Structure 1
Amino acid sequence: ACVFYDAPSGQARVLGGGFIQSASAKSAIAKGAVRPPLVEAMRG
């Protein structure tokens, strides 16, 4: 899961979040070894 927060100062508030379906190393993507993952976020 991932969550985005807003906190330049004071108490943070949750801006949104979702689930990470897959991830790949940037170096592997740059070399063309892996296709970049499609990312979908769910807002609740």
Structure 2
Amino acid sequence: MDTKYYKAWEEYKAEHPEIEDRLEGVMAPKMQSYEEMVFGFVMMLLM
């Protein structure tokens, strides 16, 4: 998806190289679900 409001985990990780590899397994699912919830909320507000 090409948008400035939604970022996949790979894009987020690329922008934040300070994230440690050992924490990535815990952070990735949580961050991705938060991104999807916020994106869904914004889309609901726009419709």
Which protein has the larger Cα radius of gyration, Structure 1 or Structure 2?
1
- The TM-score by the shorter chain falls in which range? under 0.3
User: Which protein is richer in helix relative to its size?
Assistant: 2
Higher relative contact order (CA 8 A, sep 6+): 2
User: Which protein is richer in strand relative to its size?
Assistant: 1
TM-score when normalising by structure 1: 0.22
TM-score when normalising by structure 2: 0.22
